[in-house]
Structures are given as C-alpha cells and as structure tokens.
Amino acid sequence: MTAMEFSLPVRVYMEDTDAGGIVYYVNYLKFMERARTEFMRQLGFGKDWIFSHDLMFVVRDVAVRYRRPARLDDALSATARVLRIGGASLLLQQAVRRGDDELASAEVGLACVARDGVRPRRLPQEMLTALRAVQGDNHQGEPA
C-alpha cells in the first residue's frame, strides 16, 4: 500500500498575491498549513480534539522548493502525506499544485508538544494508529 495523499482545493485571491498578481512566496506555506489542518481533521483530529488532549503541533523545520509561480484566480491543490512518524514528531511531504504542475514542495517536520509549557509530548496512541494507517508501506521508524 502506498501512502495516502490528502488534497485540499485552494483558490488564489488578491490577498495572496504581490503587486504583479503572483502568489507571494510565504503564502505557499499558508496553503500547506491549511492542508495539514484539514488532513488531521479528516483523520478525526480537529482542533477541538487536539486541544482537549492538551497538545498541539509546532513546525520544527521546513525545507521548501519553489518551482513555478501561481497567479491570481488560479485553482490549486495543497497536499499532505505522512513520510515518517516518531514518538513525538511527524515528517510530512507537502506540495502545492496547479493540475499536474507542481509549483512548490516541502518537507515539514512537526513536533507534538504539550499546550501548557510547550514541552515535547508523545503522540496519543489513537493518533499514532490513524497516522500509521495512512502512511502506507514506507514505515520508517522513529524521530522525524
């Protein structure tokens, strides 16, 4: 089984672009953030669930590669898929595409932390089980 890739439709609005109508570079990260949030929600781990379990995710590192520009009114998709799961971390592969054309891609490292004190915290078993189910055969062990 290959890893499940979650995809979120995104439309480019004026607020996303610079004066030339091209998506400002940091907005690709915002599109990816939305895809991660909706991916987790689809798995059953929306903000209410996450906060009620006294945890949150923080971006530990991100490596982005920009390939082509998106423009005002483009219909895009922002994707997320699990690459690696650690005890208190995740590594995701993310992309922003226009059709089959990849505009930007990133590997995003997330740390699971306790909301009170922002200390590392192990992923709850229920979440680990769901994430492993969509990870596919590329189960690579521990820390992301």
pLDDT single digits (tens) 105-136: 999 999 999 998 889 999 999 999 999 999 97
Q: How many CB atoms lie within 10 A of CB 26?
A: 9
Residue 139 lies in a domain: no
Find the CATH number of the domain harbouring 120: 3.10.129.10
Catalytic-role residue among 18, 54, 61, 101: 18
What does the pLDDT look like over 42-101, one tens digit per residue?
999 999 999 999 999 999 999 999 999 999 999 999 999 999 999 999 999 999 999 999
Number of domains forming the structure of the chain: 1
Residue 141 lies in a domain: no
Supply the pTM of this predicted model: 0.90
Whether pLDDT at 40 is above 70? yes
Whether pLDDT at 1 is above 80? no
The yes-or-no answer on residue 116 being catalytic is: no
Distances (CA, A) of 2 to 28, 87, 100, 139: 25, 22, 19, 10
